[in-house]
Amino acid sequence: MAVTVKVPAQLRSLTDGAAEVSIEATTVREVVALLESQHPGMGARLLDESGALRRFLNVYVDDEDVRFLDGIETSVPEGSKVSIIPAVAGG
């Protein structure tokens, strides 16, 4: 199932500058695995040592925060947009 992944500016060096990539995946976990296989280094930037999404990284499937769904196991319907958004902190 084809989904569009929106890549933040901080990670575009790994996608040769592409702001969006198309991936065939059915879960967020598959999205991350395929991103890593097609764009080496992406997995380490998205997942922590335990294989969970990094704490200061927000991932949305069609504007729904995966933290409030099934986390990394959230399903990704065909035609969905997966947005990767680094959290911004500061005061």
The pLDDT value recorded for residue 90 is 65
Q: At 44, phi and psi to the nearest 5?
A: -65, -30
pLDDT at 91 over 70: no
Contact 86, 58 (CB under 8 A): yes
The mean of the pLDDT values for the chain is 94
Instruction: Indicate the pTM of the whole model.
Output: 0.90
Distance CA 86, CA 7 (A): 10
Q: What is the pLDDT of residues 7-28, one digit of tens each?
A: 999 999 999 999 999 999 999 9
Q: What is the pLDDT of residues 25-84, one digit of tens each?
A: 999 999 999 999 999 999 999 999 999 999 889 999 999 999 999 999 999 999 999 999
Q: Which residues contact 83 (CB under 8 A, 6 or more apart)?
A: 5, 6, 58, 59, 60, 63
Query: How would CATH label the architecture of 2-86?
Result: Roll (3.10)
- Is residue 41 classed as helix, strand or coil in its secondary structure? coil
